[in-house]
Protein backbone atom coordinates (compact mmCIF):
# COMPACT_ATOMS: atom_id res chain seq x y z
CA UNK A 1 0.00 0.00 0.00
CA UNK A 2 2.86 2.36 0.87
CA UNK A 3 4.40 1.60 -2.54
CA UNK A 4 1.21 2.62 -4.31
CA UNK A 5 0.99 5.88 -2.34
CA UNK A 6 4.64 6.67 -3.09
CA UNK A 7 4.08 5.98 -6.80
CA UNK A 8 0.96 8.21 -6.81
CA UNK A 9 2.85 11.02 -5.07
CA UNK A 10 5.65 10.76 -7.63
CA UNK A 11 3.13 10.95 -10.50
CA UNK A 12 1.39 13.99 -8.98
CA UNK A 13 4.76 15.73 -8.49
CA UNK A 14 5.83 14.89 -12.06
CA UNK A 15 2.52 16.21 -13.40
CA UNK A 16 2.90 19.46 -11.47
CA UNK A 17 6.42 19.94 -12.83
CA UNK A 18 5.24 19.20 -16.38
CA UNK A 19 2.45 21.77 -15.97
CA UNK A 20 5.00 24.39 -14.88
CA UNK A 21 7.24 23.70 -17.88
CA UNK A 22 4.28 23.76 -20.30
CA UNK A 23 2.92 26.98 -18.76
CA UNK A 24 6.29 28.71 -19.11
CA UNK A 25 6.69 27.63 -22.74
CA UNK A 26 3.45 29.39 -23.72
CA UNK A 27 4.23 32.62 -21.84
CA UNK A 28 4.66 35.93 -23.62
CA UNK A 29 8.18 36.78 -24.74
CA UNK A 30 10.27 38.86 -22.39
CA UNK A 31 10.64 42.60 -23.00
CA UNK A 32 13.08 43.23 -25.83
CA UNK A 33 12.61 39.78 -27.39
CA UNK A 34 9.48 40.65 -29.33
CA UNK A 35 8.12 37.77 -31.42
CA UNK A 36 7.30 38.39 -35.08
CA UNK A 37 3.65 39.25 -35.62
CA UNK A 38 1.52 37.05 -37.84
CA UNK A 39 0.21 39.61 -40.32
CA UNK A 40 -2.91 39.16 -42.43
CA UNK A 41 -2.44 39.13 -46.19
CA UNK A 42 -4.78 39.10 -49.15
CA UNK A 43 -6.49 42.45 -48.61
CA UNK A 44 -5.67 43.62 -52.13
CA UNK A 45 -5.23 47.14 -53.44
CA UNK A 46 -8.39 47.52 -55.55
CA UNK A 47 -11.07 50.14 -54.87
CA UNK A 48 -13.36 49.43 -51.93
CA UNK A 49 -16.70 51.02 -51.16
CA UNK A 50 -19.67 50.61 -48.91
CA UNK A 51 -23.02 52.33 -48.94
CA UNK A 52 -25.08 53.41 -45.98
CA UNK A 53 -27.56 56.08 -45.02
CA UNK A 54 -27.84 58.50 -42.14
CA UNK A 55 -24.29 59.85 -41.80
CA UNK A 56 -23.92 63.00 -39.76
CA UNK A 57 -20.83 65.15 -39.18
CA UNK A 58 -17.17 64.18 -39.22
CA UNK A 59 -15.75 65.17 -35.84
CA UNK A 60 -12.27 63.66 -35.80
CA UNK A 61 -9.66 61.87 -37.87
CA UNK A 62 -7.04 59.91 -35.97
CA UNK A 63 -4.31 57.42 -36.80
CA UNK A 64 -2.51 54.53 -35.14
CA UNK A 65 0.53 52.34 -35.72
CA UNK A 66 0.26 48.56 -35.48
CA UNK A 67 2.69 45.68 -36.00
CA UNK A 68 1.30 44.86 -39.45
CA UNK A 69 -0.35 48.06 -40.70
CA UNK A 70 -0.93 51.79 -40.22
CA UNK A 71 -4.52 52.84 -39.47
CA UNK A 72 -6.61 55.95 -40.11
CA UNK A 73 -10.02 56.31 -38.42
CA UNK A 74 -12.83 58.71 -39.35
CA UNK A 75 -15.10 59.40 -36.37
CA UNK A 76 -18.71 60.35 -37.14
CA UNK A 77 -20.60 60.20 -33.81
CA UNK A 78 -24.31 59.59 -34.31
CA UNK A 79 -23.75 58.74 -37.95
CA UNK A 80 -24.62 55.05 -37.79
CA UNK A 81 -23.02 53.05 -40.61
CA UNK A 82 -21.17 55.50 -42.84
CA UNK A 83 -20.80 55.48 -46.63
CA UNK A 84 -17.22 55.30 -47.95
CA UNK A 85 -15.07 54.88 -51.04
CA UNK A 86 -11.31 54.21 -50.89
CA UNK A 87 -9.03 53.81 -53.89
CA UNK A 88 -5.52 54.44 -55.15
CA UNK A 89 -5.20 57.39 -57.54
CA UNK A 90 -2.29 58.68 -59.63
CA UNK A 91 -2.90 62.30 -58.57
CA UNK A 92 -5.16 63.83 -55.93
CA UNK A 93 -7.79 66.38 -56.98
CA UNK A 94 -10.26 68.10 -54.65
CA UNK A 95 -13.89 67.45 -55.58
CA UNK A 96 -15.66 69.37 -57.15
CA UNK A 97 -13.15 72.16 -57.83
CA UNK A 98 -10.65 69.87 -59.54
CA UNK A 99 -7.82 71.61 -57.66
CA UNK A 100 -4.66 69.48 -57.82
CA UNK A 101 -3.23 68.82 -54.35
CA UNK A 102 0.31 67.33 -54.18
CA UNK A 103 0.65 64.40 -51.79
CA UNK A 104 4.02 62.92 -50.74
CA UNK A 105 4.65 59.17 -50.96
CA UNK A 106 4.98 56.40 -53.50
CA UNK A 107 1.19 56.00 -53.84
CA UNK A 108 -1.93 57.99 -52.92
CA UNK A 109 -5.14 56.71 -51.32
CA UNK A 110 -8.18 58.87 -52.06
CA UNK A 111 -10.61 58.35 -49.16
CA UNK A 112 -14.17 59.65 -49.26
CA UNK A 113 -16.38 59.35 -46.20
CA UNK A 114 -20.12 60.10 -46.26
CA UNK A 115 -20.16 62.84 -43.63
CA UNK A 116 -20.01 66.64 -43.64
CA UNK A 117 -16.96 68.34 -42.10
CA UNK A 118 -19.12 71.29 -41.07
CA UNK A 119 -22.55 71.90 -39.63
CA UNK A 120 -24.73 73.38 -42.38
CA UNK A 121 -27.32 74.85 -40.00
CA UNK A 122 -24.82 76.48 -37.62
CA UNK A 123 -22.34 77.31 -40.39
CA UNK A 124 -19.36 76.10 -38.35
CA UNK A 125 -16.77 73.39 -39.00
CA UNK A 126 -17.13 70.10 -37.12
CA UNK A 127 -13.64 69.07 -38.32
CA UNK A 128 -10.99 71.82 -38.72
CA UNK A 129 -9.46 70.64 -42.03
CA UNK A 130 -8.32 73.16 -44.65
CA UNK A 131 -8.34 72.21 -48.33
CA UNK A 132 -4.85 71.21 -49.52
CA UNK A 133 -3.33 71.22 -46.02
CA UNK A 134 -2.18 68.29 -43.84
CA UNK A 135 -4.83 66.90 -41.49
CA UNK A 136 -4.65 69.11 -38.37
CA UNK A 137 -5.41 66.34 -35.85
CA UNK A 138 -2.97 63.78 -37.28
CA UNK A 139 0.75 63.23 -36.67
CA UNK A 140 2.21 60.40 -38.79
CA UNK A 141 5.91 60.85 -37.95
CA UNK A 142 7.60 57.50 -37.46
CA UNK A 143 4.89 55.51 -39.24
CA UNK A 144 5.99 52.54 -41.38
CA UNK A 145 3.54 53.07 -44.24
CA UNK A 146 1.93 56.54 -44.01
CA UNK A 147 3.96 59.41 -45.51
CA UNK A 148 1.53 62.33 -45.86
CA UNK A 149 -2.09 63.42 -45.34
CA UNK A 150 -4.09 66.11 -47.15
CA UNK A 151 -7.60 67.44 -46.66
CA UNK A 152 -9.62 67.60 -49.88
CA UNK A 153 -12.74 69.27 -48.47
CA UNK A 154 -16.43 68.43 -48.20
CA UNK A 155 -18.94 68.47 -51.04
CA UNK A 156 -22.50 67.15 -51.11
CA UNK A 157 -22.13 65.31 -47.82
CA UNK A 158 -18.80 63.64 -48.59
CA UNK A 159 -15.49 64.53 -46.97
CA UNK A 160 -12.40 63.77 -49.04
CA UNK A 161 -8.93 63.01 -47.66
CA UNK A 162 -5.70 61.83 -49.28
CA UNK A 163 -3.17 59.60 -47.55
CA UNK A 164 0.27 59.32 -49.11
CA UNK A 165 1.73 55.87 -48.49
CA UNK A 166 5.19 54.37 -49.03
CA UNK A 167 4.03 52.25 -52.00
CA UNK A 168 0.84 50.80 -53.44
CA UNK A 169 0.19 48.35 -50.61
CA UNK A 170 -2.82 46.20 -49.71
CA UNK A 171 -5.51 47.82 -47.59
CA UNK A 172 -8.82 47.01 -45.98
CA UNK A 173 -11.76 49.14 -44.91
CA UNK A 174 -13.85 48.36 -41.85
CA UNK A 175 -17.27 50.00 -41.61
CA UNK A 176 -18.42 50.28 -38.00
CA UNK A 177 -21.14 52.17 -36.20
CA UNK A 178 -20.04 55.81 -36.08
CA UNK A 179 -16.68 55.33 -37.86
CA UNK A 180 -14.81 54.13 -40.90
CA UNK A 181 -11.39 52.48 -40.41
CA UNK A 182 -8.77 52.14 -43.16
CA UNK A 183 -5.77 49.85 -42.52
CA UNK A 184 -2.81 49.90 -44.93
CA UNK A 185 -0.42 46.92 -44.63
CA UNK A 186 3.30 47.45 -44.20
CA UNK A 187 4.04 44.94 -46.98
CA UNK A 188 2.42 42.52 -49.43
CA UNK A 189 3.81 39.50 -47.60
CA UNK A 190 4.29 39.54 -43.87
- Residue range of the domain that includes 130: 48-185
Q: What is the CATH number of the domain that holds 102?
A: 2.60.40.3500
**Rounded average pLDDT over 138-151:** 97
Residue 105 has pLDDT above 80, yes or no: yes
Higher pLDDT, 93 or 55: 93
Is 143 within a domain? Answer: yes
pLDDT band, very low/low/confident/very high, at 80 (cuts 50, 70, 90): confident
Is 82 within a domain? Answer: yes
Is 20 within a domain? Answer: no
Total tally of structural domains belonging to the chain: 1
**Rounded average pLDDT over 76-98:** 91
| pTM tops 0.75, yes or no | yes
Cα separation of 102 and 149, whole Å?
10
| % of the chain surpassing 70 pLDDT | 78
What's the pLDDT score for residue 38? Answer: 79
Cα separation of 120 and 58, whole Å?
12
Q: Which of 7-21, 31-45, 81-95, 107-121 has the lowest mean pLDDT?
A: 7-21
- 183, containing H or E segment: strand 179-185
Is 161 within a domain? Answer: yes
Is 24 within a domain? Answer: no
Is 40 within a domain? Answer: no
Cα separation of 66 and 184, whole Å?
10
Q: Per residue in 150-180, pLDDT tens?
A: 999 999 889 999 999 999 999 999 998 889 9
| % of the chain surpassing 90 pLDDT | 61
What's the pLDDT score for residue 180? Answer: 95
Is 28 within a domain? Answer: no
Is 13 within a domain? Answer: no
pLDDT band, very low/low/confident/very high, at 190 (cuts 50, 70, 90): low
Cα separation of 38 and 52, whole Å?
32
Between the CA atoms of 17, 18, 24 and 27, what dihedral angle is there, to the nearest 10 degrees?
-140
Q: What average pLDDT does the chain have? A: 82
Amino acid sequence: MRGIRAAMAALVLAGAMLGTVTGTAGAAPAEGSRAAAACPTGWGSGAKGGGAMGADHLEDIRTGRHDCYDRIVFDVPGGGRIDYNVEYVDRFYADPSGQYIPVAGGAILDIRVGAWSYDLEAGVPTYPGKVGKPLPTVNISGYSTFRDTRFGGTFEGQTQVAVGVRARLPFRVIQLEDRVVVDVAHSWTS
